[in-house]
Amino acid sequence: MPESNLSFFGRLSVALGSFFAILGDGELAANVRRLREGGLAPAAAAPAPAAAPAAQPAPAPAVIKEATPDAALQLLGLLQRNARFVDFVEEDIAGYADADIGAAARIVHEGCRATLRDHFAIRPVRSESEGSRVTLPAGFDAAAVRVTGNVVGEAPFSGSLTHRGWRVEEVKLPQLVKTHDARIIAPAEVEL
Helix ranges, 6-69 (H): 8-24, 26-36
Is 29 part of any domain?
yes
When pLDDT is averaged across residues 103-108 and rounded to a whole number, the result is 94
Is 31 part of any domain?
yes
User: pTM value?
Assistant: 0.58
Residue 85: pLDDT above 60? yes
- Sequence-distant (≥ 6) Cβ neighbours of residue 85 within 8 angstroms: 76, 79, 108, 111, 112
The pLDDT-based confidence of 180 (bands split at 50, 70, 90) is confident
Structural domain containing residue 32: 11-37
For 86, list phi and psi in degrees, rounded to 5: -65, -40
Is 32 part of any domain?
yes
Closest CA to 126 of 105, 144, 148, 111: 144
Distance CA 64, CA 26 (A): 11
**Tally of structural domains, the chain:** 1
Is 90 part of any domain?
no
Residue 102: pLDDT above 50? yes
Is 26 part of any domain?
yes
Is 80 part of any domain?
no
Is 146 part of any domain?
no
Is 15 part of any domain?
yes
- For residue range 114-172, list pLDDT tens digits in order: 999 999 999 999 999 999 999 999 999 999 999 999 888 888 999 999 999 999 999 99
- Sequence-distant (≥ 6) Cβ neighbours of residue 65 within 8 angstroms: 25, 27
Distance CA 150, CA 144 (A): 19
